[in-house]
A and B are shown apart, each in its own frame.
Chain A
Amino acid sequence: MSGSENAIELNGLTKSFPGVRAVDGLTFSVRRGEIFGLVGPDGAGKTTTMRMLAGVLAPDEGSAVVAGFDLNRDAEGAKHHISYMPQRFGLYEELTVDENIRFYADLFGVPRREREERSAQLLQAAGMAEFRSRLAGKLSGGMKQKLGLVCALIHTPEVLLLDEPTNGVDPVSRRDFWRILYTLLDQGVTILTTTAYLDEAERCHRVALLHEGRMLFCDTPANLKASLPGAVLSIVCADPRPVRDLLAGMDGISTVMIVGDGLHLVVRDPQRMIPELRSRIAAAGLSCDAIEQVAPSIEDLFVEAVQGDKADHGGER
Chain B
Amino acid sequence: MMNWNRLCAMARKEMIQIRRDARSIGIVIAMPIVMMFAFGYGVSFDTKHIPVYVYDQEKSQQSQDFVKRFQASVYFNVVRTVTSYPELVRAIDKGDCQIGLVVPPDFSKKLRSGQKVSVQAIFDGTDSNSASLGMSYTEAVAQAHSQQLQLEWLQGRGQGQPRLPLSVDARTWFNENLESMVTIVPGVVAMVMAVVGTFLTSLTVAREWERGTMEQLISTPVTPLEIMLGKLAPYVMIGLADTSLCAVMGVWWFGVPFRGHIWVFLLSTLLFLVVVLSLGYFFSVVAKTQLAASQISLIATFLPAFLLSGFVYPIDQMPTVVRGITHVVPARYYMAILRNVFLKGSSVVTMWQDFVGLAIFAALLGLAATRVFRKKLA
Contacts and interface: CB of A to CB of B under 8 A. Distances in A.
Interface of A: 51, 54-58, 76, 79-80, 82-86, 88-95, 99, 102-104, 106-109, 135, 148
B251 interface: no
Contact of A57 (B12, B216, B376): B376
Contacts of B377: 51, 56-57
B215 A88 contact: yes
Contacts of B8: 106
Given A84-B219, A106-B8, A90 B212 contact: yes
Contacts of A95: 13, 16-17, 20
A90 to B, nearest CB: 3
Contacts of B216: 84-86, 90-91, 148
Contact of B220 (A79, A89, A93, A99): A79
A109 B3 contact: yes
11 contacts: A51-B377, A55-B219, A57-B378, A79-B221, A93-B211, A94-B16, A95-B13, A103-B12, A106-B6, A109-B3, A109-B6
Interface string B206-239: 0000011111111111110000000000000000
A131 to B, nearest CB: 17
Given A92-B213, A95-B16, A108 B218 contact: no
B221 A107 contact: yes
A90 B9 contact: no
Given A95-B13, A106-B8, A109-B5, 13 more contacts: A56-B377, A57-B377, A58-B376, A79-B221, A84-B219, A90-B216, A91-B216, A103-B12, A104-B220, A107-B221, A109-B6, A135-B20, A148-B216
B20 A94 contact: yes
B128 to A, nearest CB: 52
B21 interface: yes
A57 B214 CA distance: 12
B264 to A, nearest CB: 37
Interface of B: 3, 5-6, 8-9, 12-13, 16-17, 20-21, 211-223, 375-378
Contacts, number: 78
B50 to A, nearest CB: 53
B221 A80 contact: yes
- List the 10 closest A-B pairs by CB distance, nearest first: A90-B216, A106-B9, A84-B219, A88-B212, A94-B20, A107-B220, A86-B215, A54-B219, A79-B221, A57-B377
Nearest to B212: A88
B6 A107 contact: yes
B13 A103 contact: yes
Nearest to A110: B5
A91 B214 CA distance: 9
B41 to A, nearest CB: 36
A196 B223 CA distance: 33
A106 B6 CA distance: 6
A92 B219 contact: no
Nearest to A93: B211
Nearest to A100: B13
A79 B13 contact: no
Given A84-B216, A103-B9, A92 B17 contact: yes
Nearest to B19: A94
A99 B12 CA distance: 10
